[in-house]
Structure 1
Amino acid sequence: MASDPSFPLKQPLKSWNDDKRMNSLFSPFRQKESNPVDYETKLKFWVDLIDSWCLENGRGTFTVKYLLTVFRRKNAFPACLQTVVEELTRSGDVMTKDRFLSLDATESWARWAVRSIVKTPAVWSFNKLKEALIEIDPGEIEYVSIKFLKAAGTDVVVKCEKEGRTMMDFDEFYRVANAYNEEQASLILRWLTNERKASTIVHSGKLLAKIGPGAISEAEIAVMKINDTLSRLNQAVEILEKEKNLAVEDAKCYLRKNMRQSAKNCLRRKNEIEKQITKKLSAIDNLDSLLCRIRDAKSDAEILDCYKLGISALKTTFSETGLDEDSVANTMSELEEINEIHEEIENALAQPIGTSGDHELEDELKSILAAAEKRDTSVPEVPDLPDVPSAELSPTKSPSFSHLSASTL
């Protein structure tokens, strides 16, 4: 079955084309006590549908009459939306626009919800709300979706952190929030302010917003103005550069037509534009230098704060642990004495045990050594040898080979 073109969301809903189901959902609520499960199921369907419509269309405000036209189906209007909105108001997911705008900026939405919904009996709050609506048409009361404001505000914080910027005027915030209109943007900014995620100030007739904790300082306003001035100067330089190039082209065109006087006028205009460019570039350089000095001063202040915190921490540590020059000197002196005592103990423990009888052992060792030396120096005995003869020995005659002939040889 094709999706009904009257469905207000981009993502189609299958049950929207089920006539039987939608007739039941469009009908007024029955008593919750008769069928609690059906009551909660039907309530959840409409709560989810309203939340999705707010987020998809970037609208955080609505009236019951406007929702009737939004969720119109086949010329039928949901007859249960007033009860749905009352339930949302009682749960704290929705509040009237007047009540939201009167919320004290010093009191966060979460604290208000706890005070108004948890601490105050729910029945009393609901009855007081109905009493306040008696004199006016309930369908004309404008409500604010807290769930939408929370989601949109979170997106703004994430974008600013990603872009690395915190200060902006309301027009820039409107662009960053991507809201349906300026009223929606102002509600988102108010929610961020109540949640301590943003702060605002009116300066020189303009509403300035800071995304982040803490109040807006004069230095932050100055930095924002410098950045805005730099942006305008850079844009002016780009325009002047185009005008200068155009003047040069006009001069060339006049030269081709032999209109030298007109060409000279173009060159004069080009020279004047160059002077303006030079002045603006000089101003840009000065502002850039000033921004660097401001950042350096901020960094130096942070470093100085760190030094102070470090000194304070050291002093606290010394005070808590009793660290001072005298205690350290006394401790080192005691340590030296203990080391000397320890050395004496070690030397005493190194002495041999049972030294009695050492003189006898020394005498025995000496006698063994003397006997060994005596054996080493004694001459061995030589056996008896015969006497050396005294007569002179006669020479022995050698045999003669003279009788042998040469032929024999």
Structure 2
Amino acid sequence: MVLISTDNLPDFFKDEKRRNVLYAPLRSKTANPNDWNFKITSWKQLINLYCSSNKTYYFSLESLKVAFHDNGRTPSCLEEVLQNMSLNKEIEPLAVFMEKKPKTWAAWATKSLISTPLTWSLNKMKNIILSPELSKLEYAALNIIHQEADLLLNELSSNHKNEILTLEEIMKEKNLEINKQKDVEILILSLYNRNKVDILETQTGSLRPENLLIKVCDPNHFEPISEVDLGIRTLKANEKALEKNIEFLTDSANKCREEAKSHLVRGQKQLAKASLKKKHEIEKRIDKKTETLCNINILWNKLHDATLGEEVLDSYKNAVKAFEGTLKKGMNTDAIDDTMVKVAEMLEIQSDMENALGRPVIDVDEDLEKELEDLLAEDKFNDENKGSPGQDSDESLIKAMEKMELNLPSVPSSPISIGDLSQNMSSQVN
């Protein structure tokens, strides 16, 4: 049964035909490059998936065969896959990975030019003579280790940035059992080799929880362990020890007080006095240790303020450098004034261009003015002649008739007889 949950398995592995192809021996790359690439890529993905889902940071050829055992068969091409991963720096022997990287040039030269070649030569000869089982050689899964190590660093940085912790303290904070110590060491070494934490062994020897100090650095800035860091850690350790001692002495003083009460109840006055004297001596010790604890707290606060002040000063220096860099690029009052004058000129030019674009192509203002006057005159005339058939119409009719000129005969000055009137009318008719 494959040691990966069904939900996490890729689709190509769930297909029976394609899985049979994966478990078959690997053909030559020149004979069938597509088949070779498919198998190598697919098995790399499956191995990384197995490591990430099971929190496994190292494996061997033998353990992979157990992990991918399926229906009585094991993959036939895992050895070639591991060789390819090793060539591409995706894995490396765990023993090589567990060696700490020297940080000085002399140490690097000694290790790279003398120790490593000599060790490699001796091991090569030993391999030829003894022929060990390569299937049990353990490899470190570098990609998975680096990913998990970065997650661990982010968790520790949230509460312990630029602080020193022991391996034991880290394991307690992560609620890990002692059998997980090797896994934590692998993650810490991954961070160390990538300059994300610093390591200091208080005693030369193997990596042990009680003698390995680890500084949790800022993820964006590496700082090695300094004397100030060690001093702060010493103060913290003394502070914890004093707090425990004061707590113990306080309990002892309370116990002496209760003993004095008990002696008084039984009438043992001298024993009661002795218990009280012992209580007073303990209280004096408590007072002295309390003063010492206060001094440690003062020193701790001073160191913290000094560190904070140094960070503030560094930020000021960076800001000054940024300003200086800006000024070196030509930013000054004269350059700003010249730029503002140019901006004003460009705005004026743009305004002139907009006015030019807004002028009409043909000047028809005079014709429009004349037409508007005609419309106004017509509206005025309509307003004057507008009205209902009642009184308004009569008044307007009277006004119109007054303006009319009639050619009527003048009124006669002497009386006219009927005969003269008839004669006059007949003459007009003729």
- On whether the aligned pair clears a TM of 0.5, the verdict is yes
Taking the TM superposition and a 5 Å limit, the aligned residue runs for 1:263-302 are 263-302=272-311
> Could you tell which deviates more after superposition, 65-74 or 19-28?
19-28
1:160: which partner in 2?
156
1:151: which partner in 2?
147
Amino acid at match of 2:199: T
Unaligned ranges ≥5, structure 2: 105-123, 205-210, 338-430
Taking the TM superposition and a 5 Å limit, the aligned residue runs for 1:23-172 are 25-32=22-29, 39-73=36-70, 76-101=73-98, 104-105=101-102, 135-166=131-162, 167-172=164-169
Higher helix share: 2
Do the aligned partners of residues 13 and 314 (structure 1) sit closer, same or farther apart at CA in structure 2, a change above 3 Å counting? closer
1:195: which partner in 2?
194
1:359: which partner in 2?
none
Do the aligned partners of residues 75 and 230 (structure 1) sit closer, same or farther apart at CA in structure 2, a change above 3 Å counting? farther
Q: CA deviation at 1:171?
A: 2.9
Q: CA deviation at 1:64?
A: 1.4
- Which of 238, 241, 246 does residue 250 from structure 2 map onto? 241
1:218: which partner in 2?
227
Do the aligned partners of residues 181 and 322 (structure 1) sit closer, same or farther apart at CA in structure 2, a change above 3 Å counting? closer
> Could you tell which deviates more after superposition, 6-15 or 267-276?
6-15
* Distance in 2, Cα, partners of 1:23 & 1:90: 26
Report Cα offsets for 1:223-245 as digits up to 9, x if no partner: 12212222232233333334444
Report Cα offsets for 1:345-399 as digits up to 9, x if no partner: xxxxxxxxxxxxxxxxxxxxxxxxxxxxxxxxxxxxxxxxxxxxxxxxxxxxxxx
With the length of structure 2 as denominator, give the TM-score of the two structures. 0.55
* Distance in 1, Cα, partners of 2:82 & 2:19: 19
Q: CA deviation at 1:36?
A: 5.3
Report Cα offsets for 1:327-349 as digits up to 9, x if no partner: 9xxx9xxxxxxxxxxxxxxxxxx
Q: CA deviation at 1:222?
A: 1.0
Do the aligned partners of residues 309 and 145 (structure 1) sit closer, same or farther apart at CA in structure 2, a change above 3 Å counting? closer
* Distance in 2, Cα, partners of 1:231 & 1:68: 50
Question: How many aligned positions are there?
Answer: 299
8 Å CA contact retained: 1:105, 1:193: no
Root-mean-square deviation (CA), in Å? 4.3
* Distance in 2, Cα, partners of 1:12 & 1:259: 77
Unaligned ranges ≥5, structure 1: 1-5, 108-129, 332-409
* Distance in 2, Cα, partners of 1:256 & 1:30: 95
Do the aligned partners of residues 312 and 257 (structure 1) sit closer, same or farther apart at CA in structure 2, a change above 3 Å counting? same
* Distance in 2, Cα, partners of 1:92 & 1:288: 49
Do the aligned partners of residues 274 and 98 (structure 1) sit closer, same or farther apart at CA in structure 2, a change above 3 Å counting? same
Report Cα offsets for 1:267-321 as digits up to 9, x if no partner: 4444343333323322221111101111222333344455556667777777876
Q: CA deviation at 1:154?
A: 0.6
Identity rate, percent: 23
> Could you tell which deviates more after superposition, 244-253 or 189-198?
244-253
Do the aligned partners of residues 304 and 255 (structure 1) sit closer, same or farther apart at CA in structure 2, a change above 3 Å counting? same
